[in-house]
A = this chain, B = another copy of it.
Amino acid sequence: MKHCDTLIAPRWCVPVQPAGRVLEEHAVALDDGRIIDILPRADALQKYQPSVTVERPDHALLPGFVNTHTHAAMTLLRGISDDLPLQRWLTEGIWPVEKRWVSAEMVRDGTELAIAEMLRGGTTCFCDQYFFPEVVAATANDAHMRANIGTPIIEFPTAWANNVSEYLSKASDLVHDRFADHPLISTSFAPHSSAALTDDSFRDLRVIADQLDIRVQIHLHETLGEIERAVAETGKRPFARLADLGLVNRSLIAVHAVHMNDEEIALMADRGVSVAHCPKSNLKLASGIAPVTSYRDAGVHVAIGTDSAASNNSLDMLSEIQTAALLARARSNSADALTAADALRLGTLDGAAALGLENEIGSIETGKAADLISIDLAQINTQPVYDPISAIAFAARADQVRDVWIAGRHLLENGELTHMNVARILARSHEWRNRIATQTGRPNE
């Protein structure tokens, strides 16, 4: 018999790749943080002598969710401003609070709360953009969470940097010096939106991004207002301007991409752009419904993100996957526009690919990192089960995620976070709530 660290024996295994496949009574063997074997349970018990065996007779095992768009620290602003369209939500609801309260400490506490929520709900990798990215990275590292950390780059000064040159220099330092070859943390450039930078700054950014070979994530065509303002100011739609500046390529993550015309969709497909589709945020801010079916039909790569808890108001990828599947049907008037298996793939393997991590995570395949989750389908609200993929995509809730492994480490075990101090996280969240609430005129608690 062969040693392995962990043997997981679920009722069903949903590897995501190949699409729609369900393995019954199989086991998955992990060693040194990686998946080393997927085989019938009976064979596994003969072949392996694991340090730990995890029996989950009512659960489905699947790859962890990849949340491709977050502003994790903003979890501290959950529900602080609810009923405004994007531009007013930013200028009246969010920016005044951020201006007063954003600090390294706030980013650490908010990111920790976000990671706790994400792990609890089965997310094993998130792609963030916020101030103090080195704090976001360190917080993710401390929690053993996988993440792509976007460094903010904007034309105006903030607590983090004074000008574009300093943003780019700090961002490059972060990539090179602090998180090069880190097993869990990668980095990207995160210019906030096309309006945030001049052409010259975008050119500088592009040169460095190409040298570093990292992703560039940007809020793009989120609302019609954004497009109209850009046309008035620059004479170009934001996507066309980015294309002219050489930024429309396979490194680009177009966040939201709610409003794209046929020509733009064709160019996105041709250049290998990825979309971070955030359906609930787009609904909540009345931005619109992204044409996911058109993207997929054209060959544009689509992944899923929750956006921040301030505009969603949760970081629940199961809910986001379900909403994506339901909305695609309404948007395209077709009940098979996005099947349960399609939606699950968007939330896992396609998310990994958007971050350039498709060879490392996103599916249960031998050799990949052991980023896995188990979902208990024996609960009342998912019974009976005719098809576990349907049960996951259309009926399961985040509380049914009972186990999470990242690189083989068991971070959620039977519904309990093993590596985070939840009481401390909630206490700090409560302290921030009371500080911030005074500004918005809300009573202390």
Q: A residues engaging B (CB < 8 A)?
A: 24, 76, 78-80, 82-86, 88-89, 113, 116-117, 120-121, 280, 282-286, 288-289, 309, 312-316, 319, 323, 326-327, 329-330, 332-337, 339-340, 378, 380-387, 390-391, 394-395, 397-399, 422, 425-426, 429-430, 432-433, 436-437, 440, 442-443
Contact = CB atoms under 8 A, between A and B. Distances in A.
Given A78-B384, A314-B381, A381-B315, A330 B289 contact: yes
20 contacts: A78-B395, A85-B334, A88-B335, A113-B383, A117-B380, A120-B380, A283-B330, A284-B326, A286-B332, A286-B334, A286-B335, A312-B394, A315-B381, A316-B397, A323-B326, A381-B398, A384-B430, A386-B433, A386-B442, A397-B397
- Top 8 A-B residue pairs of the complex, sorted by shortest distance between their CB atoms: A384-B433, A283-B326, A79-B390, A83-B336, A286-B335, A399-B399, A313-B394, A85-B335
Given A82-B339, A385-B79, A399-B397, A426 B378 contact: yes
A321 to B, nearest CB: 13
A207 B22 CA distance: 54
A395 B77 CA distance: 13
B380 A313 contact: no
B314 A395 contact: yes
Interface centre among A80, A312, A326 (most CB of B within 10 A): A326
Contacts of A430: 383-384
A283 B82 contact: no
Interface centre among A323, A332, A384, A386 (most CB of B within 10 A): A384
Contacts of A117: 380-381
A385 B248 CA distance: 40
A383 to B, nearest CB: 5
A315 B381 CA distance: 8
B79 A329 contact: no
Nearest to A86: B335
A25 B345 CA distance: 46
Given A78-B386, A85-B335, A397 B395 contact: no
A85 to B, nearest CB: 4
Contact of A384 (B332, B385, B429): B429
A386 B440 contact: yes
Contacts of A121: 381
A39 B39 CA distance: 62
B381 A283 contact: no
A58 B78 CA distance: 17
Nearest to A88: B335
B422 A380 contact: yes
Nearest to A120: B380
A60 to B, nearest CB: 13
Contact of A390 (B82, B394, B426): B82
Contacts of A309: 395
Contacts of A113: 380, 383
Contacts of A332: 286
Nearest to A309: B395
Contacts of A394: 79, 82, 284, 312-314
A437 to B, nearest CB: 6
B398 A83 contact: no
A333 B82 contact: no
Given A84-B335, A335-B286, A380-B116, A79 B314 contact: no
A101 to B, nearest CB: 13
Contact of A432 (B286, B315, B340, B384): B384
Given A84-B336, A284-B326, A315-B381, 4 more contacts: A83-B335, A283-B326, A286-B329, A381-B398
Contacts of A399: 397, 399
A155 B147 CA distance: 59
A440 B335 CA distance: 20
Contacts of A319: 319
A116 to B, nearest CB: 5
A148 to B, nearest CB: 22
A398 B399 CA distance: 9
A433 to B, nearest CB: 3
